[in-house]
Amino acid sequence: MGVIKWLLNAGPTVFLPMLLFTFGLFLRIKVGKAFKAALMVGIGFTGLNLVIGLLTDNLGPAAQAMVRNFGLSLNAIDVGWPAASAISYGTTLGSLAIPIGVLLNVILLIVGLTRTLNVDLWNYWHIAFTGSLIFAATDDFGLGLATMAVHAMWIYFLADLAAPTIQKHYGLEGISFPQGASAPGFVLALPINWLLDRIPGVKNISWTPETIQKRLGVFGDSAVMGLIIGLAIGGLAQYDVTKILNLGITTSAVLILMPRMVSLLMEGLSPISEAANEVVQKKFPGRNLYIGMDSALAVGQEAVLSASLILVPVSLLVAVILPGNKVLPFGDLATIPFMLAVMAAVFGGNVFRIVIGGIVDIAVSLWIASWIAPLLTIAAKSAHFSMNGASSISVLSDGGTWTTLLIVGLGKMLSWGGIAIVGVIVLGLMIWLNKFHAKRV
Closest CA to 367 of 331, 329, 334: 329
Residue range 329-352: mean pLDDT, rounded: 89
Find the helix packing angle between 141-170 and 97-111, rounded to 10°. Answer: 60
Q: Give me the pLDDT at residue 11, please.
A: 63
What one-character-per-residue DSSP string does 54-115 give?
Answer: HHHHHHHHHHHHHHHHHT---SEEE-HHHHHHHHHHTSHHHHTHHHHHHHHHHHHHHHTS--
Q: What are phi and psi of 240, to 5 degrees?
A: -80, 175
Q: Give CA–CA dist 304/337, Å, rounded.
A: 6
Q: How many CA atoms lie within 13 A of 51 on its CB side?
A: 25
In terms of pLDDT, which residue wins out, 333 or 203?
Answer: 203
Share of the chain above pLDDT 90, in %: 35
For the chain, what is the mean pLDDT?
85
Report domain extents, the chain.
Answer: 2-207+266-440
Full-model pTM: 0.83
Q: Tell me the per-residue pLDDT of 116-140, one tens digit each, with 9 for 90 and over.
A: 988 877 788 899 999 999 998 888 9
Cα separations in angstroms, 3 against 102, 153, 172, 235, 294: 14, 24, 31, 47, 22
> If you ran DSSP here, which 8-state letter would residue 301 be given?
S
Say if CB 255 and CB 225 are below 8 A apart. Answer: yes
45: pLDDT strictly greater than 60: yes
Burial (0-12, 13-18, 19+ Cβ within 10 Å), 200: exposed
200: pLDDT strictly greater than 70: yes
347: pLDDT strictly greater than 90: yes
Q: Give CA–CA dist 164/141, Å, rounded.
A: 37
Start-to-end C-alpha separation, the chain: 42
Say if CB 309 and CB 211 are below 8 A apart. Answer: no
Give the list of residues 6+ apart from residue 399 with CB closer than 8 angstroms, or none.
Answer: 84, 129, 365, 368, 369, 372, 373, 376
> If you ran DSSP here, which 8-state letter would residue 333 be given?
G
